[in-house]
Structure 1
Amino acid sequence: MKGIIAFIALTVGSFAGFAQSAAEKLLLVCGDSQVLLVDYKNGKDSIPHVVWNWDAHEAMDLPAEFRTKKFNTMDDCKAIRGGEQILVSSSGGAIAILNRKDKKVLFVASVPNAHSIELLPGDLIAAAASTHKEGNRIMLFDRRQPEKPLYSDSLFSAHGVVWDEKRQSLFALGLTVLREYKLITTGQKSLKHVQEWKIPGNSGHDLQPTLDGDRLFLTETTGAWQFDLNAHTFTKIPGFTEAPHTKSVGQDRSGQFIYTVPEESWWTFHVRFQNPVHALSFPTMKVYKARWFRR
């Protein structure tokens, strides 16, 4: 790993060591070419305790163009399948699925200005391709056929995708709208756009489900909101002190918020928390998003 580990001066735990401490409070942090898994409780003041990391520049099972260019700006990271695999996307133009135990790349595909990735039933993968001459769309892939998307639909400045298991719907966030899609599995697999809502503010950015499965957290230029999936209404997130240009926001079972806000251009050097307030420092990494690690 790069300079961040030298700064942290902490031992990165092996997978075996991590498995023995699975009850710890963990978070995923992504930026530059890296994804980190951090133990919240065992950090020292603002210094994070990194228990696992993946650096695209060191992933020799990636094609050279992906390893050296397309994964230089990691912008989303999500745990799936009980935390054994991790979804990652990069605005450099790629998405991937990682196996956490051995760090193998299980799936990789080109997605112009990729800003989010989500796993759907049937080993299908949705991705948000943001502003780019070949982007501004939602793309659907079959995990067994990464070379060519099965389907795409125009969505300007696509930034977020979330699969709602309860409603069997894919929600996608664009510049000014939140959309709902249904998965079509008869014949050629595709998505059907069924409805959409204009979001408060402008320039939709982050989209995350709440733990109860009945709301979505979303951010845009002016602040952060929650969308009630039953009432189809937007309200402010209770108890969260929002900030303009919030890049990511989430909440764990204790009620603690995790969020990132840019300090320079689009990146930050800190992951911040609320209820209770705390911050972790990453001085040599351009952090984009941070997520509570969900098994």
Structure 2
Amino acid sequence: MNRVISLISLLAVSVGGFAQSTSEKLLMVCGDSKVLLVDYQQGQDSIPAVVWSWDAHEAMDLPTEYRTRKFNSMDDCKAIRQGEQLLVSSSSGAIAVLNRKDKKVVFYASVPNAHSIELLPGDLIAAAASTAPNGNRIMLFDQKHPEKPLYSDSLFSAHGLVWDQQRKSLFALGLTVLREYKLVGTKALKLVQEWTIPGHSGHDLQPTPDGRHLFLTEETGAWQFDLKTHTFTKIPGFTDAPHTKSVGRDRRGQFIYTVPEESWWTYHVRFQHPSHALSFPTMKVYKARWFRP
């Protein structure tokens, strides 16, 4: 009986605000209409300890079309502003910014086949619109004016976005290229450099903890891009897998990644150094991130 109670407790999701974990090793998991915050150290075997969740289907502050249709396939999630807010994107056609504490949606916008979202200075929001009618582009929004794109630039199969605060650059990943953009004033971006990626069909783009590289994935495996030398190499210590949907590493060197088990989704979040796996049997998981506010 005590074991059953323990397992139920581990699976319990906070209904109200975020339940503060005693551990600082947290990860974010997104898929279906949900975003989860999971305590890595409090899980039992493969059972995740979910300490916070947001389900778009239950977000009554979203318009009906967004709540029931445009957030059915969550594909990216990131923490911003010291972890007090989250960025989310959905390939069903939307992006949003939400508060972690009260789960209030403070910004949303329609983005065709949205695959990534990033916060830029001046409360600007960049979104990657992948292959779709009116997609294949990078879009720029002002949080004060939802649903009104300020700027867009064509990028076929746009999939990944990273704002590099040190270089004051937005890096964007498409089908075959990695690009660097600079902000022009408060309403536009300017393309300044472009590199052909190894492999084909760029997918995930994430910064390394030291800020010196970007991790990127494509259909044959995963790579790192040196932001100083502008060269691509295989990620040291990471086991390659085709069609890796997301990859990241914490400051201690542990990798977190997702690889499809069926079509584009998986039921597990996997780790290396040390190796481990967490199971999400009722969720079509797309990406997982270390929670780095």
TM over 0.5: yes
Match of 1:196 in 2: 194
The superposition leaves residues 164-194 of structure 1 with CA deviations (integer Å, 9 ceiling, x where unpaired) of 00000000000000000000116xx100001
Partner of 2:256 in structure 1?
A: 258
Distance in 2 between residues matched to 1:196 and 1:17, nearest whole Å:
40
Q: Match of 1:146?
A: 146
CA distance in structure 1 between the partners assigned to 2:18 and 2:245 by the alignment = 31
- Shift, 1:11, TM fit: 2.3
Question: Sequence identity of aligned pairs in percent?
Answer: 79
The answer to whether the 8 Å contact 1:14/1:51 transfers is no
Whether 1:228 and 2:226 are equivalent positions in the alignment is: yes
Matching residue of 2:163: 163
1:78–1:86 contact (8 Å) kept in structure 2: yes
Q: Structure 1 residue 284: deviation in Å?
A: 0.6
What does residue range 261-276 of structure 1 map to in structure 2 within 5 Å?
261-276=259-274
- Partners of 2:17 and 2:100 within 8 A in 1: no
Equivalent residue, structure 1, for 2:12: 11
2:237 to 228, 239, 242: 239
Query: What residue identity is the alignment partner of 1:61?
Result: D
Give per-residue Cα distances to partners, 1:178-217, cap 9 Å, x unaligned.
000000116xx10000110000000000000011111100
- 2:175 alignment counterpart: 175
Identify the residue that residue 40 of structure 2 maps to in structure 1: 40
Query: Which residue number corresponds to residue 120 of structure 1?
Result: 120
Q: CA deviation at 1:10?
A: 2.5
Read off the aligned partner of 1:195 and give its amino acid letter. Answer: Q
Equivalent position amino acid for 1:119 in 2 = L
Pair 1:241–1:65, CA change in 2 (3 A): same
| Partner Cα distance (1:163, 1:78) in 2 | 12
Give the counterpart letter for 2:190 in structure 1. K
User: After the TM superposition, which residues 20-35 of structure 1 pair with which residues of structure 2 at under 5 Å, given as runs?
Assistant: 21=22, 23-35=23-35
* Equivalent residues of 2:11, 2:47 under 8 A apart: no
> Do the aligned residues in 1 keep the contact of 2:129 with 2:139 (CA within 8 Å)?
yes
Give the C-alpha shift of residue 227 in structure 1.
0.2
- What letter corresponds to residue 263 of structure 1 in structure 2? E
CA distance in 2, matches of 1:254, 1:45: 21
Matched, 1:108 2:108: yes
Shift in Å, 1:24: 2.6
SS in 1 for 2:257: strand
Distance 1:209 1:114, change over 3 A: same
Gaps of 5+ in 1: 1-5
TM-score, scaled relative to structure 2: 0.95
Residues 1:91 and 1:76: Cα distance change in structure 2 (over 3 Å): same
Partners of 2:219 and 2:207 lie apart in 1 by 19
Query: Structure 1 178/15 Cα, relative in aligned 2: closer, same or farther at 3 Å?
Result: same
**Uncovered stretches (5+) of structure 2, i.e. residues with no partner:** 1-6
Kept in 2, the 8 Å contact 1:217–1:226? The answer is yes
The amino acid that maps onto 2:289 is R
| Distance (Å, rounded) in 2 between the aligned partners of 1:241 and 1:10 | 29
**Counterpart secondary structure, 2:122:** coil
Structure 1: how far apart are the matches of 2:195 and 2:9? Answer: 43
State the one-letter code of the partner of 2:236: P
Mapped partners of 2:13, 2:206: distance in 1: 28
Shift of 1:18: 2.9
Counterpart Cα distance in 1 of 2:260 and 2:18: 33
* Partner-residue secondary structure (3-state), 1:83: coil
Contact 2:18 2:100 in 1 (8 A): no
Q: Which residue of 2 aligns with 1:77?
A: 77
Give the conservation status (yes or no) of the 8 Å contact 1:114–1:130.
yes
Q: Is the 8 A contact 1:8 1:48 kept in 2?
A: no
Shift, 1:224, TM fit: 0.1
Distance of aligned partners of 1:205 and 1:165 in 2 relative to their CA distance in 1, 3 Å threshold: same
2-structure distance, mates of 1:95, 1:147: 10
